[in-house]
A and B are shown apart, each in its own frame.
Chain A
Amino acid sequence: MISKTIEKLLSKVQKPGRYVGGELNSVIKSKEDVEIRFAFCFPDIYEVGMSHLGMKILYSQLNTVPYIWCERVFAPWADMEEQMRRCQVPLYALESGDSLADFDIIGFTLQYELSYTNILNMLDLAGVPLKACDRHSLSRLVVAGGPCACNPEPLADFFDLFFIGEGEEVDLEVLALYREFKKKGGTKQNFLQAAAQIPGVYVPSLYTVEYREDGTIREMRPQCGAPKTVKKRLMPDLDKSYFPDRFVVPAIEIVHDRAVAEVLRGCIRGCRFCQAGFLYRPFREKSVDVINKQCFDLCENTGYDEISLSSLSTSDYSDIYGLLDKLHTWTPEQKIGVSLPSLRVDNFSTELMSKIKSVRRSGLTFAPEAGTQRLRDVINKNVTEEELLKTVNTAFAGGWTTIKLYFMIGLPTETMEDVEGIANLGQAVVDAFYSNPDKPKGRSVKVSVSTASFVPKPFTPFQWEPQDTMEMLREKQRHLVRTVKTRKIELSWHDAETSFLEAVFARGDRRLGAVLLKAWENGCKMDGWKDFFSLSKWLEQFRACGIDPEFYANRRRSPDEVLPWDHLDYGVTKSFLIEEWKRARENRTTPNCREKCSACGAACFKGGICVENR
Chain B
Amino acid sequence: MKTVRVWFRKTGTARFISHLDLNRCMARAIHKAKIPLWYTEGFNPHAFLTFALPLSLGISGERESMDMKLEDNALSDAELMERMNAGLPPDIRVYAVTEPVMKPGQITAASYRISLEVENMDAEQAAGRIAELFRSETLVVSKHTKSGWSDFDLAPYLGNIEVSAAKTTVEISSVLPAGSSLNINPTLLTDAVGKYLHLEFYAKIRRTCLYGESQKIFE
Answer whether A and B are interacting partners.
Answer: yes
Which A residues are closer than 8 A to B by beta carbons?
2, 7-8, 10-11, 16-17, 19-24, 249, 251-253, 300-305, 334-335
**What would 8 A/B residue contacts be, using CB atoms closer than 8 Å?**
A10-B16, A16-B57, A21-B13, A22-B12, A22-B89, A24-B87, A249-B89, A251-B17
Q: Is the CB of B88 within 8 A of A335?
A: no
Question: If A251-B21, A251-B25, A251-B89 touch, does A20 touch B31 (CB 8 Å cutoff)?
Answer: no
Question: If A16-B58, A21-B13 touch, does A253 touch B24 (CB 8 Å cutoff)?
Answer: yes
* Residues on the A chain within 8 Å of B90, using CB: 22, 24
Question: If A24-B87, A251-B21 touch, does A303 touch B16 (CB 8 Å cutoff)?
Answer: no
* Residues on the B chain within 8 Å of A17, using CB: 16-18, 21
* Residues on the B chain within 8 Å of A2, using CB: 13
Instruction: Tell me the chain B residues, 55-76 only, with Cβ under 8 Å from chain A.
Output: 57-58
Extra inter-chain contacts (5) besides given A11-B58, A21-B13, A24-B87, CB under 8 Å: A16-B57, A22-B89, A23-B89, A249-B28, A304-B31
**Complex CA distance for A302 and B29, rounded to whole angstroms:** 8
Chain A minimum-CB-distance residue to B204: A7
Q: Is the CB of A252 within 8 A of B58?
A: no
Chain A minimum-CB-distance residue to B58: A11
Chain B minimum-CB-distance residue to A302: B32
Contact with A along B24-39 (1 / 0, CB 8 A): 1100111111100000
Between B24, B89, B91, the greatest number of chain A beta carbons within 10 A of the residue's beta carbon is seen for B89
Instruction: Tell me the chain B residues, 1-57 only, with Cβ under 8 Å from chain A.
Output: 12-14, 16-18, 20-21, 24-25, 28-34, 57
Chain B proximity of A478: nearest CB distance (Å): 41
* Residues on the B chain within 8 Å of A335, using CB: 31
* Residues on the A chain within 8 Å of B14, using CB: 22, 251
Question: Does residue B202 face the partner (Cβ distance < 8 Å to A)?
Answer: yes
Q: Is the CB of A304 within 8 A of B21?
A: no
* Residues on the A chain within 8 Å of B203, using CB: 11
Chain A minimum-CB-distance residue to B86: A24
Chain B proximity of A589: nearest CB distance (Å): 45
**Complex CA distance for A252 and B28, rounded to whole angstroms:** 12
Question: If A16-B58, A24-B88 touch, does A303 touch B29 (CB 8 Å cutoff)?
Answer: yes
Chain A minimum-CB-distance residue to B29: A303
Q: Is the CB of B91 within 8 A of A303?
A: no
Q: Is the CB of A300 within 8 A of B17?
A: no
**Complex CA distance for A304 and B24, rounded to whole angstroms:** 10
Which B residues are closer than 8 A to A by beta carbons?
12-14, 16-18, 20-21, 24-25, 28-34, 57-58, 87-91, 202-203
Chain A proximity of B78: nearest CB distance (Å): 20
* Residues on the A chain within 8 Å of B30, using CB: 303
Question: If A20-B13, A22-B12 touch, does A10 touch B28 (CB 8 Å cutoff)?
Answer: no
* Residues on the A chain within 8 Å of B91, using CB: 22
Interface of A is mostly: loop
Chain B minimum-CB-distance residue to A304: B28
Chain A proximity of B153: nearest CB distance (Å): 25
**Complex CA distance for A304 and B34, rounded to whole angstroms:** 12
Q: Is the CB of A252 within 8 A of B17?
A: yes
* Residues on the B chain within 8 Å of A301, using CB: 32
**Complex CA distance for A11 and B89, rounded to whole angstroms:** 21
Chain B minimum-CB-distance residue to A20: B13
Chain A proximity of B31: nearest CB distance (Å): 5
* Residues on the B chain within 8 Å of A20, using CB: 13, 16
* Residues on the A chain within 8 Å of B87, using CB: 24, 303
Question: If A303-B29, A303-B32, A304-B28 touch, does A252 touch B21 (CB 8 Å cutoff)?
Answer: yes
* Residues on the B chain within 8 Å of A252, using CB: 17-18, 21
Q: Is the CB of A22 within 8 A of B202?
A: no
**Complex CA distance for A20 and B14, rounded to whole angstroms:** 8
Q: Is the CB of B13 within 8 A of A253?
A: no
Between B13, B14, B30, B91, the greatest number of chain A beta carbons within 10 A of the residue's beta carbon is seen for B13
Q: Is the CB of A8 within 8 A of B202?
A: yes
**Complex CA distance for A16 and B59, rounded to whole angstroms:** 12
* Residues on the B chain within 8 Å of A8, using CB: 202
**Complex CA distance for A334 and B32, rounded to whole angstroms:** 10
Chain A proximity of B59: nearest CB distance (Å): 10
Q: Is the CB of B32 within 8 A of A300?
A: yes
**Complex CA distance for A334 and B30, rounded to whole angstroms:** 12
**Complex CA distance for A249 and B31, rounded to whole angstroms:** 13
Chain B minimum-CB-distance residue to A24: B89
A-B pairs, 10 with minimum CB distance: A303-B32, A22-B13, A303-B28, A20-B13, A16-B16, A251-B17, A17-B16, A303-B31, A303-B87, A252-B21
* Residues on the B chain within 8 Å of A304, using CB: 28, 31
**Complex CA distance for A303 and B92, rounded to whole angstroms:** 15
**Complex CA distance for A301 and B17, rounded to whole angstroms:** 21
Chain A minimum-CB-distance residue to B47: A335
Chain A proximity of B166: nearest CB distance (Å): 16
Chain B proximity of A50: nearest CB distance (Å): 13
**Complex CA distance for A251 and B31, rounded to whole angstroms:** 15
**Complex CA distance for A252 and B19, rounded to whole angstroms:** 10
Chain A proximity of B171: nearest CB distance (Å): 17
* Residues on the B chain within 8 Å of A300, using CB: 32
**Complex CA distance for A253 and B24, rounded to whole angstroms:** 8
* Residues on the B chain within 8 Å of A22, using CB: 12-14, 89-91
Q: Is the CB of A305 within 8 A of B31?
A: yes
* Residues on the B chain within 8 Å of A24, using CB: 87-90
* Residues on the B chain within 8 Å of A251, using CB: 14, 17, 21, 25, 89
**Complex CA distance for A23 and B13, rounded to whole angstroms:** 9
Chain A proximity of B14: nearest CB distance (Å): 7
Chain A proximity of B157: nearest CB distance (Å): 23
**Complex CA distance for A24 and B26, rounded to whole angstroms:** 12
Q: Is the CB of A10 within 8 A of B12?
A: no
Chain A proximity of B90: nearest CB distance (Å): 6
* Residues on the A chain within 8 Å of B58, using CB: 10-11, 16
Chain B proximity of A21: nearest CB distance (Å): 6
Chain B proximity of A95: nearest CB distance (Å): 11
* Residues on the A chain within 8 Å of B28, using CB: 249, 302-305
Between B12, B17, B90, the greatest number of chain A beta carbons within 10 A of the residue's beta carbon is seen for B17
**Complex CA distance for A304 and B90, rounded to whole angstroms:** 17
* Residues on the B chain within 8 Å of A19, using CB: 16
* Residues on the A chain within 8 Å of B33, using CB: 303
* Residues on the B chain within 8 Å of A249, using CB: 28, 89
Chain A proximity of B144: nearest CB distance (Å): 16
Chain A minimum-CB-distance residue to B57: A16
Chain B minimum-CB-distance residue to A13: B16
**Complex CA distance for A533 and B95, rounded to whole angstroms:** 48
**Complex CA distance for A45 and B100, rounded to whole angstroms:** 41
Between B12, B20, B32, the greatest number of chain A beta carbons within 10 A of the residue's beta carbon is seen for B32
Chain B minimum-CB-distance residue to A23: B89
Chain A proximity of B37: nearest CB distance (Å): 9
* Residues on the A chain within 8 Å of B32, using CB: 300-303
